[in-house]
Chain A
Amino acid sequence: MNINYQQSRKPPVATTGVIGWLRMNLFSNWFNTLVTIIVAYFLYQIVPWFLNWSVFEADFTRNYLGEVIIDRTGCSRVADPENHSGACWSIIIVRFYQFVYGFYPREEVWRVNVVYFLLVVALVPLLYEKFPVRKQFLKFTYIFPIIGFYLLYGGPGLEIVMTNKWGGLLVTLVLGFVGIALAFPIGIILALGRRSNLPVISMICTLFIEFIRGVPLITLLFFGMVMLPLFLPEGLNMDGLIRVLVAVTLFQAAYMAEVIRGGLQAIPRGQYEAAQSVGLTYWQMNRKIILPQAIRITIPSIVNTSIGLFKDTTLVVIIGLLDLLGIGRGALADATWMGLSNEVYVFVAIVFFIFTFSMSRYSLYLEKKLKTGINMGAD
Chain B
Amino acid sequence: MQKNFFSDEKTRGILYQTLVIGLFALGIYFVVTNTAYNLEKRNIATGFAFLNNPAGFDISFSPFLDFKSTDTHLKVYYVGVLNTLLVSVTGCIAATILGFFVGIIRLSSNWLLSRTAYAYVEFTRNVPLILQIILWYAILIQLPRIKQSIQFLEIFFISNRGLYSPRPIFESNFFYVNITFIVSIIVAYIIYKWAKKRQENTGKQFPTISVNLSLIILFPLFIYFISGSPINLDYPVLKGFNFKGGMVIRPEFIAMFLALTIYTGAFISETVRSGILSVTKGQREASGALGLKKNWIMRLIIIPQALRVIIPPLTSQYLNLTKNSSLGIAVGYADLVHGFGGISLNQTGQAIECMAITMATYLCISLLISFFMNIYNKSIQFKEK
Binding site for B on A (CB under 8 A): 25-26, 28, 32, 35-36, 39-40, 42-43, 197-201, 204, 211, 213-219, 222-223, 226-227, 229-234, 307, 311-312, 314-315, 317-318, 325, 329, 341-342, 345-346, 348-349, 352-353, 356-357, 360
Contact = CB atoms under 8 A, between A and B. Distances in A.
Interface in B325-375: 326-327, 329-330, 337, 341, 345, 351-352, 355, 358-359, 362-363, 366-367
A37 to B, nearest CB: 10
Contacts of A312: 128
A128 to B, nearest CB: 22
Interface stretch (B29-37, B56-64, B69-77, B205-213): B29-37
Given A230-B352, A348-B131, A317 B109 contact: no
A345 B331 CA distance: 14
B110 A230 contact: no
Main secondary structure of the interface of A (DSSP, over half): helix
Residue among B16, B113, B127, B345 having the largest count of chain A Cβ atoms under 10 Å: B127
Contacts of A357: 122, 126
A218 B113 contact: no
B123 interface: yes
Contact of A231 (B35, B125, B139, B359): B35
A346 B112 CA distance: 25
B112 A26 contact: yes
Contacts of B132: 349
B363 A216 contact: no
Interface in B80-121: 108-113, 116
A218 B128 CA distance: 14
B384 to A, nearest CB: 21
Given A26-B111, A39-B116, A201-B17, A215 B362 contact: yes
Given A197-B13, A216-B323, A25 B134 contact: no
Given A200-B20, A311-B128, A211 B330 contact: no
Contacts of A219: 326, 337, 341, 355, 358-359, 362
B128 A215 contact: no
Interface in B181-232: none
B144 to A, nearest CB: 14
A227 B128 contact: no
A379 B111 CA distance: 30
Given A214-B367, A230-B39, A28 B34 contact: no
Contact of B34 (A222, A230, A342): A230
A58 B113 CA distance: 29
B276 to A, nearest CB: 19
Interface of B: 13, 16-17, 20-21, 24, 31, 34-35, 37-39, 41, 108-113, 116, 122-123, 125-132, 134-135, 138-139, 142, 323-324, 326-327, 329-330, 337, 341, 345, 351-352, 355, 358-359, 362-363, 366-367
B378 to A, nearest CB: 20
Given A214-B362, A219-B337, A232 B34 contact: yes
A318 to B, nearest CB: 6
Nearest to A339: B142
Contacts of A348: 131
A26 B111 CA distance: 6
Contacts of B337: 216, 218-219, 222
Contacts of B327: 216, 218, 315, 318
Contacts, number: 149
A325 B129 CA distance: 12
B130 A315 contact: yes
A76 to B, nearest CB: 17
Nearest to B342: A222
23 contacts: A25-B111, A26-B111, A35-B108, A40-B112, A42-B116, A198-B17, A200-B17, A200-B21, A211-B363, A215-B362, A218-B329, A218-B337, A229-B38, A312-B128, A314-B130, A317-B130, A325-B134, A341-B135, A342-B138, A345-B138, A346-B135, A348-B131, A360-B125
B129 A230 contact: no
Contacts of B108: 35
Contact of A214 (B24, B126, B142, B363): B363
Contact of A325 (B112, B128, B326, B341): B128
Given A200-B17, A314-B131, A352-B126, A32 B110 contact: yes
B41 A234 contact: yes
A214 B327 CA distance: 15
A41 to B, nearest CB: 11
A7 to B, nearest CB: 32
B274 to A, nearest CB: 12
Contacts of A35: 108, 110, 112-113
